[in-house]
Amino acid sequence: MGTQQVGKPLYTSDIIMRAFQFFATSRCLYERLRHDFQLPSAQTLTRITSKVGKLDECTFSGAVFKTLEERQRLCVLLRDEVYVKKMMLYHGGQVFGRSVDDPQCLAKTALGIMISCMFGAPNFLPKILPILRLKTSFLHEQIQLSLAAIEQAGGRVKAIICDGNRNNQAFFQLLGANRQRPWDTQAGVYLLYEYVHILKNIRNNWLTEATGELSYYHDGVWRTAKWNHLVELYKLEADSLVKMSTLDEVSVLPKPSERQKVST
């Protein structure tokens, strides 16, 4: 019988990605899973992330784009801001927690810039910045740097998407929005407000309208949508095994705090 050479196991990209998900959830859990499944060691994952952490935005984006087809390099740039707990951390000889817009203060939010590639290509997050108080000028500067990095890396941004707060409205104006076509720029980049927030605003206005009705014009006819129809549908299906909708009590009768959740 021939002998089989035993060496280091080869891991596919799917296994590596799944391993990072487990590792980020809990390191104790990850070590326990390694007893039952063949997964990379924690040292291997740390070594990979240390290399990625040293890449600049252009190099990191280029590493993604070079694996894609030409049409998949068309992409959409999304930006969003989330609140974070103010704290200072020390790890690996570095101090974390200071805001980039005011290094003397701790960050209150994190500005994330994500790239969504088209035609089935992956999404990735090339930049996360700790922010104290995001200003339009700073946002414009960071987006311009990201646009330049993407173009240099071989990508092509077709649209920029964000929510419709005043800061983002002013930011779109700085990008050179066309007066006749406010959703377009002279460079041919579409400026879009995130549809999830738009739908949420429509739902909240519909829900809080005194009459519970919204009128709209469609195919030459004025039509009326009534919120109580959704409530009645939910009540009819509540005790039924077969449902025609995914409505639940929270979605048709949400509390004020629940109206802000995308899931409802």
Q: Could you give the 3-state DSSP secondary structure of residue 194? A: coil
pTM above 0.85, yes or no: no
Residue 39 CB neighbours (<10 A): 21
- Sign for the CA dihedral angle at 146, 147, 151, 157 comes to positive
In one letter, which amino acid is 171?
F
Q: What is the pLDDT of residue 145?
A: 93
Q: What is the mean pLDDT of each run of 10 residues along the chain (264 residues)?
A: 49 74 79 85 75 71 88 93 84 77 90 92 88 92 92 92 86 81 84 86 88 90 93 87 84 86 76
Q: How far apart are CA 143 and CA 134, in angstroms?
A: 13
Number of helical H runs and strand E runs in the chain: 9, 9
Q: Please give the domain boundaries of the chain with CATH numbers for all domains.
A: 12-54 (no CATH), 55-193 (3.30.420), 199-260 (no CATH)
State the Cα angle at 206 between 205 and 209, rounded to 5°. Answer: 80
